[in-house]
Structure 1
Amino acid sequence: MAGSGRPRGPLVADKRYSASKPAAPKKPRANTSTKRKRSGKRPPSGRGPIRRVLFGTLGFVARVLWGIGWRFGLAIALIVGLATFYFYSQLPDVTALLDGRHRGSVTMIDTDGKVFAWRGETFGGQITAENVSEHLRDAVIAAEDKRFYGHFGVSPRGIASAMRINLAAGRGPFSGNGGSTLTQQVAKLLCLGVEYDPKRWKTEAAYENDCRSGGVKRKIKEVPYALAMELKYSKDDILTIYLNRAYLGAGARGFEAAAQRYFGISAANLNPAQAAMLAGLLPAPSYYAPTNNLQRSQDRAATVVKLMHEQGYLSAAERDYAWQHPATLSEAAQKRAGGYFADWIMDAAPDFLTTETTEDVIIRTTLDQRIQSAAEEAMQSIFAAKVKEGSEAEAAIVVMSADGAVRAMVGGRATKVTGAFNHATMARRQTGSTFKPFVYAAALDMGYTPDDIVEDAPLTINVPGSGPWSPKNYTREYRGPITLTEALTHSVNTATVRVSEAVGREAVRKVAEDFGFAEDLAEGPALALGVSESTLLQMTGAYAGILNGGSSVKPYGMTELRLKGDSEALFGVSGGLGERVISEKAARELVYMMHSVVQNGSGRRANLPDRQVAGKTGTTQAARDAWFIGFTADYVVGVWMGYDDNRPLSGVTGGGLPADIWRETMLRVEAGLPASPLPMAQPSDWRPDTPFWGSDSTPPAGPDLGPGNRKSDWSRPIEEVRPKKDKKDKKRDEPDLAERILMEVLGSILSKN
């Protein structure tokens, strides 16, 4: 075989196993580090050099950031913890935080004992989360912080959600929605424990704005304070603080005050619709206040009702009922009556017990809400029916009793206001012919009678320093000799000036001032025509003196002022009857003359169908002011109309629209009251039964205006200021007296036959 010459194949070992081939033993992995040490070469890693540098750098940065981060986080946690502990140690007992007002409030009560106005921030009394209506608790939680009972004072989820909403709206992450928990809102209400300091803040409003300011810094400060409250107080304690301190519009601080203000009930008795309306005020109290816009407030409340249902506080049936029967204001809140009156009271009382009070003050007043509503409705009805749309003319009304007690006050066309310009008390305007009754009051008090004669004829008076002055009548016509009653009835200017000059301007001025007319009356003869200025309140008070029989009055609106909780009053009635100004006889005669003004003269549009009325119209130069002031046996009512910029009225006189407003007011005020006669004299009281003035055949006592005939000085033209009589005047007077005596004797003889 060896010599066969063919090459031999490879040697193959004998098969020991008929099955599979045994696995080769694994070679040990080479020690690469040893190889690197030996060869000095780096084996391939699968990454390029750039990627190795990049990942290495990122790893280094991550390790650095982690090192800084956990240290910084630890520092922040330590700072927050220390701040929380500090605030925790400073927080007082819950009861000390319930009334957060820096000033007190003023509550005003009408003649029926009902509240009609509040000033300052009212606090209805302390309430707790346990004793308020469950619907109120649910509404506040649903509207403001649905996770209130589950978080620890701060809600990261809420903050993140607020940031997302702000960014989606195109605002900054911390602008707009803040994501504050209810606990954080309480922290803001407490101003993070910072007390009001008048040296630091000019006003309380500036302090409040600073407390409510937002931003990152404020949020950071709120966190430890909120955590401290969560540690110090229970959840119900925190809610209690919120329910007492939240501002809810219309001067109401806390939900108890708001429930009383808007609904006239306690916070414990609120139904779901009412609770939802109050909770809906929280984001913007003034904007959503039902006294500002009831429909807007109801729409907001409907949203809160929906949230209450979604969160399981209301069933579907309860939700639907609340939607179908939304909350409405109480009768007193709807009327918002007496805003001008309340402002007047606040101005009249001492500041330390009103605008600057640190106590809660109760003021009982003379306001009658029925009469107040009547006056407001009367003004609105006349402006709606008889004044052209868009007119800027203003008007004011004062209703007063004969003793000076103000029963109603409307200071302008906008009736449901607070702090507005009060045309009844602040506007000093020329009075025009409404001043004339004081001229005749002076004359009657001196002994003249309504039947005495005065000349209505052209008149010129030489005024020292000014030259000749010639008053003109409104009609530019002259009536000749007329009685005093006719002169007042038809508001005759020349006759009134003659009477004023005859009795003396000082006498007229004294009567007007004693009746309460404004001081600084005009000095010249134009005094008689009402060129002096006064307010409507003063004029109405002066006319009340005529109605009450001749005694002055000081208009007043407050009958009692006391601190809340005290049984004794600090102040009593602030005005009333004063000194007698003219005799009762003169007052009754003047009422008769003023009654003729309404029956037969310039005030006929003020006539009432079922009772006697007396009054006087007034229109100033160029019709810049129009007045009507009059009275029945029950009330005195003054009405003024004009423009704030003092421009002339168009086609308006005192006997026109002001008389219409007066009549509409009195129709409502007197409705249901029995008719009483005016306290006025009758012609038989001064007209003698004998041919002469008295049983002794001599004229009645009075100032000497001529020999034997008191009327002679009025029946001739006056050429200068109060001229002295000469002999010619005396001779001219004597035939007039003889003629009158002869006629009266003949009349007596004829009557006997």
Structure 2
Amino acid sequence: MSTTGPRKPPLVAPKRTRKAPTKPARKTKSAPRRGRARSSNPIVRFFGGIIRWALRLIWGIGWRLTALVLLVVGSFVAYTYTTLPEYQTLMDGRAKGSVTLLDDKGEVFAWRGDQFGGVVTADTVSRHLKNAVIATEDRRFYLHPGVDPIGIASAIRINLSEGRGPLSGNGGSTITQQTAKLLCFGNAYSESDWKSEADYIADCRRTSLVRKAREAIYAMAMEAKYTKDQILSVYLNRAYLGGGAYGAEAAAQRYFGKSAANLNPAEGAMIAGLLTAPSTLAPTANLERSRNRASVVIGLMRRQGYLSDQETALALANPAELSEAAERQAGGYFADWVMSSGPEFFTRDTTEDVIIRTTLDQRVQRAAEDALTYIFDEKVREGSKAQAAIVVMSADGAVRAMVGGRKTKVVGAFNRATQAKRQTGSAFKPFVYATALELGNSYDSIVVDEPYCLNIPGSGRWCPENYTRNYKGRVTLTESLAQSLNIPAVKISESVGRDLVRKVASDFGIESDLAAGPALALGASESTLLEMTGAYAGILNGGSSVTPYGLVELKLLGEDEPLMGTGGGIGERVIQESAAQELIYMMTKVIEGGTGGRARLPDREAAGKTGTTQAARDAWFLGFTADYVAGVWMGYDDNTPLSGVTGGGLPAEIWQETMIRVHEGLAPKPLPMLRPKPRPAPPRQEPQRRSPLAGNNPIENILRSIFGRN
């Protein structure tokens, strides 16, 4: 069978044609390879390999070591974090409390101990104080994590450029690090662990690499635990700011008499400036130096944008002024005396904040200070090292003013009014005459001023002399006291009995050991000015003993009920009131016509007594008006004799200047004294003619006796 139709082509592979070989393309310049091409030099390749290997090794070790350090530091920070208390408990870090002293009107005049005015926060203090602290101490405070590497590097550079060690001088510490130091890294003060609080503080402030590392760890833990403002609040409350003030509130009250919330830029800058050297820069120590530092702080505040040009100019033109109490620094000696006379656990060693109301009258205090300054400026030769002290009190022993030396603005200085025991000289004689009057003698009783000697067992013959080395003959007790005659005083003392004189003086408040020999009457015993002034107050009040006192009331801060009250005042009667009145009358004659004439007051009655010891080593004047009793002592601390000074000289003038100032504005009052009635004059007799030889011719006298006058 056959098929018809077109035939299909056979199934065969297509014919392959061989392509002519193509020429290879020309090589073109290719793009450079990334990375450094290996050198064909085998030596270079060898050392390059070593360097690459070392870098890889360093990087490998470095990041692992860094990670390890970060892990260790983080562990320490984390552990420290767990030990941190709530920030509110860190505000008051004082080991001891404070004492605030108020005058008789309730106004603050002195502070003692570690002052803490109360808790403040970064939000409640004046913004000017807050900004001044940040500008001065840590301008990147809100930017760093507790440690500022930039600040540390800058501090090291400055220290090295000035030839110091890297950690000496500028430390680059942040406010957080400084707060860590103030907290002593959480180690609280313990009396059992430290010899003193000063040693504890010194150890907390010690600087070393280990301490710096510990400080940094503690600071970073604080940054993790507390907010920035909480850390700043702790710092503002714990920082020491001079003058015994801890914290911003105490400093503001101490220096400016206002709250830390009300400080202006100049005041805020002054307080912030104290942080670098609080004791040296304290305005109560050197106001000009403190103002200069405040000017620097104001400049920093301006550069960092915290003050405008106008605010800066105003602050520089009106520097901070101290409050009246801070500027006066009144009653430093008085405050020290009150602190020493009160119970230690509420004064010198108090752990509480104590308020003490005192008897101090700041007007009287200023009068005493001004009087002393005036006399030494006007009447004492320039360069003299002589010292003086003044005590002014009321008749009941309430001390109104106390000056313990020529430098009046002091704290903790030697107080010559209370601590210096010196011979009293003739200032002791009123107690001899008080004894005689108590035993029935009178102001016009007669004593003979004449040569007088005593045989003293064991010492031999003793013959006292008057200051003038002459004798007055028959004199009244009043004349004897007014002229400060020695022989009559010894005679009276011997006649009434030395033991009784010692008892009267002791009962009046002279607690020092009194001499046993006859020189007792001449003031051979030693006493303090405070004791002597208190004894004279006993004469003024009518013959009752007096215990000088300055503390009126003591209570804890925030409490209404006082813990203790007045510690002195009028005690038991020593002599009868009539005897005291006679003695006051006799003592007025000392001023009106005796050795104390320079103490005379122009507008009121005054009574007193001078005193000068052997070789004029001590000079005294003590006396009173109806309102005040005042005592003055003058001498050298080393017992050098005074040149040309007696109790009736410069001490009497200091007393007069003090009392004139003290009595300004006070109406004169009469002294509570005896006022003798004037005696009638003897009847006038006609003069008799006598022969020029009358009374001299014995024969004529015999004839007269027989035959009469003619």
- The TM-score normalised by the length of structure 1 is 0.84
SS of the residue corresponding to residue 390 of structure 1 reads coil
SS of the residue corresponding to residue 306 of structure 1 reads helix
Pairs within 5 Å for 1:24-35: none
Query: How far did 1:100 drift?
Result: 0.7
Amino acid of the structure 2 residue aligned with 1:204: E
State whether residues 596 and 648 of structure 2, in contact with CA within 8 Å, keep that contact through their aligned partners in structure 1. yes
Give the Cα–Cα distance (whole angstroms) in 1 for the partners of residues 626 and 47 of structure 2. Answer: 103
Residues 1:209 and 2:202 are matched in the alignment: yes
Work out which of the residue numbers 598, 607, 625 in structure 1 matches 2:600: 607
Amino acid of the structure 2 residue aligned with 1:288: L
Work out which of the residue numbers 458, 472, 484 in structure 2 matches 1:465: 458
Residues 1:278 and 2:271 are matched in the alignment: yes
Work out which of the residue numbers 241, 251, 264 in structure 2 matches 1:248: 241
Give 2:628's aligned residue: 635
Work out which of the residue numbers 547, 568, 578 in structure 1 matches 2:571: 578
SS of the residue corresponding to residue 677 of structure 2 reads helix
State whether residues 518 and 533 of structure 1, in contact with CA within 8 Å, keep that contact through their aligned partners in structure 2. no
Work out which of the residue numbers 216, 219, 224 in structure 2 matches 1:223: 216
Give 2:18's aligned residue: none
Give 2:120's aligned residue: 127
Give the Cα–Cα distance (whole angstroms) in 1 for the partners of residues 501 and 682 of structure 2. Answer: 32
State whether residues 455 and 480 of structure 1, in contact with CA within 8 Å, keep that contact through their aligned partners in structure 2. yes
What is the percentage of aligned positions where both structures have the same residue? 64
Query: How far did 1:67 drift?
Result: 3.8
Give 2:85's aligned residue: 92
Residues 571-614 of structure 1 deviation map (CA, whole Å, 9 limit, x = unaligned): 11100000000111110110111110011111111111111111
Give 2:375's aligned residue: 382
Amino acid of the structure 1 residue aligned with 2:438: D
> For the structure 1 residues 25 and 578, does the alpha-carbon distance in structure 2 shift closer, same or farther, using more than 3 Å as the test?
closer
Give the Cα–Cα distance (whole angstroms) in 2 for the partners of residues 366 and 24 of structure 1. Answer: 116
Residues 1:549 and 2:538 are matched in the alignment: no
Work out which of the residue numbers 649, 654, 660 in structure 1 matches 2:653: 660
State whether residues 39 and 45 of structure 2, in contact with CA within 8 Å, keep that contact through their aligned partners in structure 1. no
Give the Cα–Cα distance (whole angstroms) in 1 for the partners of residues 426 and 485 of structure 2. Answer: 9
Work out which of the residue numbers 438, 443, 449 in structure 2 matches 1:456: 449
Give the Cα–Cα distance (whole angstroms) in 1 for the partners of residues 416 and 240 of structure 2. Answer: 31
Query: How far did 1:46 drift?
Result: 3.6
State whether residues 545 and 572 of structure 2, in contact with CA within 8 Å, keep that contact through their aligned partners in structure 1. yes
> For the structure 1 residues 493 and 137, does the alpha-carbon distance in structure 2 shift closer, same or farther, using more than 3 Å as the test?
same
SS of the residue corresponding to residue 95 of structure 2 reads coil
Give 1:78's aligned residue: 71
> For the structure 1 residues 439 and 312, does the alpha-carbon distance in structure 2 shift closer, same or farther, using more than 3 Å as the test?
same
Residues 508-559 of structure 1 deviation map (CA, whole Å, 9 limit, x = unaligned): 1111000001242111100000000100000000000000000000000011
Consecutive unaligned residues of structure 1, counting only runs of 5 or more, are 1-20, 28-42, 692-753
Give 2:338's aligned residue: 345
Stretch of structure 1 that moved more, 217-226 or 415-424: 217-226
Pairs within 5 Å for 1:24-173: 45-46=40-41, 49=43, 58-173=51-166
Stretch of structure 1 that moved more, 447-456 or 206-215: 206-215
Give the Cα–Cα distance (whole angstroms) in 1 for the partners of residues 584 and 361 of structure 2. Answer: 26
Amino acid of the structure 2 residue aligned with 1:405: A
Residues 643-662 of structure 1 deviation map (CA, whole Å, 9 limit, x = unaligned): 11111111111111111111
Residues 1:621 and 2:614 are matched in the alignment: yes
Amino acid of the structure 2 residue aligned with 1:639: V
Give the Cα–Cα distance (whole angstroms) in 1 for the partners of residues 27 and 555 of structure 2. Answer: 111
> For the structure 1 residues 23 and 537, does the alpha-carbon distance in structure 2 shift closer, same or farther, using more than 3 Å as the test?
same
Query: How far did 1:45 drift?
Result: 3.7
Give the Cα–Cα distance (whole angstroms) in 1 for the partners of residues 419 and 57 of structure 2. Answer: 74
Residues 1:416 and 2:409 are matched in the alignment: yes
Work out which of the residue numbers 319, 334, 349 in structure 1 matches 2:312: 319
Give 2:637's aligned residue: 644
Pairs within 5 Å for 1:630-709: 630-684=623-677
Give 1:429's aligned residue: 422
Amino acid of the structure 2 residue aligned with 1:476: R
Residues 1:293 and 2:276 are matched in the alignment: no
Consecutive unaligned residues of structure 2, counting only runs of 5 or more, are 1-22, 30-37, 684-710
Give 1:740's aligned residue: none
Query: How far did 1:63 drift?
Result: 4.2
Give the Cα–Cα distance (whole angstroms) in 1 for the partners of residues 45 and 510 of structure 2. Answer: 101
Amino acid of the structure 2 residue aligned with 1:650: S
Give the Cα–Cα distance (whole angstroms) in 2 for the partners of residues 405 and 241 of structure 1. Answer: 42
Query: How far did 1:233 drift?
Result: 0.9
State whether residues 435 and 529 of structure 1, in contact with CA within 8 Å, keep that contact through their aligned partners in structure 2. yes
State whether residues 248 and 289 of structure 1, in contact with CA within 8 Å, keep that contact through their aligned partners in structure 2. yes
Residues 1:267 and 2:260 are matched in the alignment: yes
SS of the residue corresponding to residue 683 of structure 1 reads coil
Query: How far did 1:83 drift?
Result: 1.2
SS of the residue corresponding to residue 631 of structure 2 reads strand
Give 1:439's aligned residue: 432
Residues 1-51 of structure 1 deviation map (CA, whole Å, 9 limit, x = unaligned): xxxxxxxxxxxxxxxxxxxx9976699xxxxxxxxxxxxxxx98447x5x7
Give the Cα–Cα distance (whole angstroms) in 2 for the partners of residues 148 and 177 of structure 1. Answer: 17
> For the structure 1 residues 157 and 467, does the alpha-carbon distance in structure 2 shift closer, same or farther, using more than 3 Å as the test?
same
> For the structure 1 residues 141 and 25, does the alpha-carbon distance in structure 2 shift closer, same or farther, using more than 3 Å as the test?
closer
State whether residues 175 and 215 of structure 1, in contact with CA within 8 Å, keep that contact through their aligned partners in structure 2. no
Query: How far did 1:58 drift?
Result: 4.9
> For the structure 1 residues 490 and 44, does the alpha-carbon distance in structure 2 shift closer, same or farther, using more than 3 Å as the test?
closer
Query: How far did 1:243 drift?
Result: 1.0
Give the Cα–Cα distance (whole angstroms) in 1 for the partners of residues 301 and 212 of structure 2. Answer: 28
Query: How far did 1:246 drift?
Result: 0.8
Amino acid of the structure 2 residue aligned with 1:417: V
> For the structure 1 residues 455 and 89, does the alpha-carbon distance in structure 2 shift closer, same or farther, using more than 3 Å as the test?
same
Give the Cα–Cα distance (whole angstroms) in 1 for the partners of residues 380 and 63 of structure 2. Answer: 77
> For the structure 1 residues 57 and 203, does the alpha-carbon distance in structure 2 shift closer, same or farther, using more than 3 Å as the test?
farther
* RMSD of aligned alpha carbons: 2.1
Query: How far did 1:392 drift?
Result: 1.3
State whether residues 399 and 406 of structure 1, in contact with CA within 8 Å, keep that contact through their aligned partners in structure 2. yes
Work out which of the residue numbers 459, 466, 482 in structure 1 matches 2:475: 482
Query: How far did 1:131 drift?
Result: 1.2
Give the Cα–Cα distance (whole angstroms) in 1 for the partners of residues 193 and 57 of structure 2. Answer: 45
Query: How far did 1:388 drift?
Result: 1.6
SS of the residue corresponding to residue 71 of structure 1 reads helix
SS of the residue corresponding to residue 454 of structure 1 reads strand
SS of the residue corresponding to residue 152 of structure 1 reads coil
Amino acid of the structure 1 residue aligned with 2:338: I
> For the structure 1 residues 26 and 673, does the alpha-carbon distance in structure 2 shift closer, same or farther, using more than 3 Å as the test?
closer
Give the Cα–Cα distance (whole angstroms) in 1 for the partners of residues 498 and 356 of structure 2. Answer: 42
Work out which of the residue numbers 290, 298, 305 in structure 1 matches 2:298: 305
Residues 1:235 and 2:247 are matched in the alignment: no
Query: How far did 1:215 drift?
Result: 2.8
Residues 315-339 of structure 1 deviation map (CA, whole Å, 9 limit, x = unaligned): 1011000000000100000000011
Amino acid of the structure 1 residue aligned with 2:596: G
Residues 1:569 and 2:562 are matched in the alignment: yes
SS of the residue corresponding to residue 477 of structure 1 reads coil
Give the Cα–Cα distance (whole angstroms) in 2 for the partners of residues 22 and 572 of structure 1. Answer: 121
Amino acid of the structure 2 residue aligned with 1:401: S
Amino acid of the structure 1 residue aligned with 2:557: K
SS of the residue corresponding to residue 237 of structure 2 reads helix
Query: How far did 1:175 drift?
Result: 0.7
Give the Cα–Cα distance (whole angstroms) in 2 for the partners of residues 616 and 137 of structure 1. Answer: 59
SS of the residue corresponding to residue 253 of structure 1 reads coil
Give the Cα–Cα distance (whole angstroms) in 2 for the partners of residues 61 and 612 of structure 1. Answer: 103
